[in-house]
């Protein structure tokens, strides 16, 4: 599966190799993870209503010091897997310039408006949640979306702009500002 990265979640963490005698175990053999979370003051709140994460291994071409360098790049990935009630998505390596099968995008309440996750019809059938954190009216949702998929918020319908590899508002909602 080829996935283009459009945006990441707030929560980053790493796991190092179990061989701590290796002086490079914290860098060469480390795995880097990302998931949706919410900032509450200076603390990170894990209020997952849909737990999951993405993973970059050291050989994937991901540099943890510069995560924004992979925005817009396409990776070969294993498909999303369910393990112990969590969705896991492994980014294996960068892909040649090809049309991606899906896009990894993260939405939040401040930029994308309110989403009613409990109601049916908040997303098209092809949208696959990876990680969703919800606390009161605030949320952060990490989703896999196809080129024709959409997500509905109170601002309108959000779709992938394939030409620019970004999420854009395709139809304005009733309460959305002009």
pLDDT in tens, 29-68: 788 999 999 988 888 888 899 999 999 987 788 888 888 8
Instruction: Please check whether residue 148 lies inside any domain of the structure.
Output: yes
> Edge to edge, what strands does the sheet with 156-161 contain?
150-153, 156-161, 166-172
pLDDT band of residue 158 (cuts 50, 70, 90) is very high
Residue 176 has pLDDT above 60, yes or no: no
Listed in sequence order, the residues at least 6 apart from 24 whose beta carbon sits closer than 8 Å to its beta carbon are: none
Identify whether 177 is part of a domain. Answer: no
Per the structure, how many domains does the chain have? 1
Whether the pTM exceeds 0.85: the reply is yes
In angstroms, the CA 124 to CA 34 distance is 24
31 in a structural domain: yes
- Domain containing 70: what range? 2-17+24-172
178 found inside a domain:
no
42 lies in a domain? Answer: yes
Inside any domain, residue 64: yes
Question: Which pLDDT score, from 0 to 100, does residue 42 have?
Answer: 87
pLDDT of residue 23: 67
Q: How far is CA 159 from CA 4, 98, 129, 145, in A?
A: 14, 20, 15, 8
pLDDT of residue 10: 93
Running DSSP on this structure, what letter comes out for residue 123?
B
Where helices occur in the chain by DSSP H, the ranges are 109-112
On whether the CB atoms of residues 53 and 34 are closer than 8 A, the answer is yes
Element (H, E) at 177: none
**Does residue 147 fall inside a structural domain?**
yes
């Amino acid at each position: 599966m080829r996935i283009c990265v459009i945006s990441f979640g707030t929560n980053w963490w790493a796991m190092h190799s179990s061989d701590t005698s290796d002086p490079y175990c914290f860098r060469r053999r480390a795995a880097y993870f990302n998931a949706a979370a919410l900032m509450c003051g200076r603390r990170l709140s894990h209020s997952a209503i849909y737990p999951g994460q993405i993973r970059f291994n050291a050989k994937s071409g991901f540099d943890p010091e510069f995560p924004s360098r992979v925005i817009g790049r396409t990776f070969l990935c294993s498909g999303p897997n369910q393990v112990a009630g969590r969705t896991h998505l492994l980014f294996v390596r960068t892909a040649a310039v090809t049309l991606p099968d899906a896009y990894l995008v993260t939405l939040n309440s401040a930029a994308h408006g309110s989403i009613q996750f409990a109601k049916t019809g908040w997303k098209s059938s092809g949208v696959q949640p990876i990680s969703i954190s919800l606390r009161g009216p605030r949320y952060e949702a990490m989703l896999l979306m196809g080129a024709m998929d959409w997500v509905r918020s109170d601002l309108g319908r959000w779709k992938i702009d394939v030409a620019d590899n970004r999420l854009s508002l395709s139809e304005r909602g009733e309460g959305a500002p002009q």
